[in-house]
Amino acid sequence: MVEKYKKEVANDVVFNLEYNSERQRLLIPEYGRHLQKLIDQATIIEDVETRNKAAKYIIQVMGSLNPHLRDVPDFQHKLWDQLFIMSDFKLDVESPYPIPSRDVLQLKPDILQYPQNFPKYRFYGNNIKYMIDVANKWEDGEMKNALVLVIANHMKKSYLSWNKDTVKDDVIFEHLFELSDGKINLLQSTEELLNTTDLLRTNKRISNKITPPGQPKIQSNKNNKGPGKSKPFQKNNNQK
C-alpha cells in the first residue's frame, strides 16, 4: 500500500523555515518575492525560445499587477526595464526596447547649486534687495520716487512684523541707504512713511449676523398682527 501522506518531523520543518533576514534582497519590492522567483527561474532556462516565452509571460503578470499604469505612455518599456533590473541584468532575452545597463542605472544627478545669500538684515528678505537693485537701474523721476517709497514702506512693514517695537523712519532710511550701496538717499528727505497702525492693520471679517448699512432688516412675523401673519401648523386628524 502506497503511503499517501508522509508525516514530517517537527524539528526538520522548523530548521527549514525561511526568514526574511536570510532571503535574497528584493531589487523592486513592489512586485513581491513570488515574481522575483519567477524571474530567477527564467534566468537559468537554457533554451532560448523557452526563455523568451517565460519573459513575455512575466511581463504580462507585471502588467496585471499595475493596471492603473496601462494608459501611461511607454508603459511596456518601463516593464521591460524593470524586468532586467530585477534579474540583476543576467536575463538574456530579446527585448523590443533598448536593454538598460547597470552603469546608466547607477548614474547620479548633478548637485543643484542653491543660491546662498546671507543678507545683513534678514528680516527684510531677499525680495527687498531685488527691488532695490531694480530701483537703482531706473532713471530719476516720479516713477522711481514712487517705487522707492513703496520699498521703504514695505521695509517698515517687514521690520515691524519681526520686531514688535516701533521703528522710526530714519532707521528705515538708513537701512535703505546701506542696502542700495548709497544710491538711494532719503536721510535728508521730508517724506513720511505710513503709520505703524496702518501697516499692521488687519482686515476685519464682516459677520453674517451684522446687517450691512443701507440694507433693510427682515423682521419676523411672530408678533405681527397684520394680514401677513403666519398661521401655526395644525395637525389634521381626519387625514388618512
Report CA-CA distances (Å) from 145 to 131, 132, 158, 174: 13, 12, 20, 17
Highest mean pLDDT among 117-131, 133-147, 217-231: 133-147
User: How much is the pLDDT for 229?
Assistant: 52
CA distance 80 to 93: 10
pTM of the model: 0.44
Q: How many CA atoms lie within 13 A of 176 on its CB side?
A: 28
3-state secondary structure of 174: helix
Q: What share of the chain is helix, strand, coil (3-state, %, to 5)?
A: 45, 0, 55
DSSP three-state, residue 227: coil
Q: What is the pLDDT of residues 89-98, one digit of tens each?
A: 999 999 888 8
Q: Mean per-residue pLDDT for 101-121?
A: 78
pLDDT at 197 over 80: no
Distances (CA, A) of 16 to 10, 26, 37, 92: 10, 20, 18, 32
Which SS3 state, helix, strand or coil, does residue 198 take? Answer: helix
For the chain, give every domain's residue range: 21-106, 122-202
pLDDT at 64: 87
Q: Which three cell numbers stand for residue 34?
A: 513570488
Q: Which residue has better confidence, 15 or 100?
A: 100
SS3 category, 188? coil
